[in-house]
Structure 1
Amino acid sequence: MLDEARRAIDQQKKDLEGLRSRAGTTAGYATVVASVLGGLSLRDGTHPTAWTWTGFAALAVAAAASVFVLWPRTLTLALDIEKMDGRIDKGDGIAVMIRDTSLALYRDRKANQRVLNRLHNVYVLSLFFVLIELCFLLVDLARR
């Protein structure tokens, strides 16, 4: 039971790392799209259009969403050794300690999962806005 609870927390740690890695890549991609397509749209002294501004606004939303995902969060991804030590001092048996520790890990996993789900949703939103940015800047480029 304790091993399964520990594996679930370890998986959440990997999920968080992967999500943050993808969010950083998405922010970089959004910046490159804005640089290349925005630069092409504004070459030769042309003025930005509504398409250009909308594309840049989508870049800002995508970047803000990526920063939200990358922002440090407090997740419980490790055991609280002080709590475990306190249980030893009270004279609890090993079976009770394992059960309580497993239940604590389960509660931490549930709380972490709510945060991870929210971060994942914001990450998907950032991808959507990168796509919107790309579309608006391509339309802007095609209309010039």
Structure 2
Amino acid sequence: MPWAQIPVGHQSRDRGHGRRETRTVKAVTVNTPGGILFPHARQAVRITRTRTATGKTSRETAYLTISLPAAGAHPADLQDWIRREWLIENLVHHVRDVTFREDLHQARTGTGPAVLATLRNTAIGYHHTTGETNIARATRRANRRPHDLIRAVTSSNPRTQ
């Protein structure tokens, strides 16, 4: 795509936690015959995030295709949707990768990966419902006190410590 010639559709700036972020969204309607080899793609989107923290600047660019026409998905909406998706990534997938070391796991065939992902999601969900914000700490506590966890899951009046 000729991204340099496509105008910026939306830009936002945020400050917080000792960093500055600028997010820029460019979106273009895909009208070429044959499309861009993505079935049902109506728009191509580029989101660039520039972050400056402790004097260091980094840039991350994400490319997406979406099936909504420009009238149904304005650049500001796209940015909001993508930020929400990244929030989910941070809340669940990051915990699975870092706390449970999911990327290092050797289960690669059959239903093993899906079963283990379900167990990890269940553990994360359980800890969230009990008010835990640090899943790693809650998991270590549950490992040291498995009877508390079994009692909480099987009891009709669950309590956690």
TM (normalized to structure 1)? 0.25
Structure (1 or 2) with the larger CA radius of gyration: 1
Kindly indicate whether structure 1 or structure 2 has the higher relative contact order, using CA contacts under 8 Å at least 6 residues apart: 1
Q: Which has the higher helix share?
A: 1
TM (normalized to structure 2)? 0.22
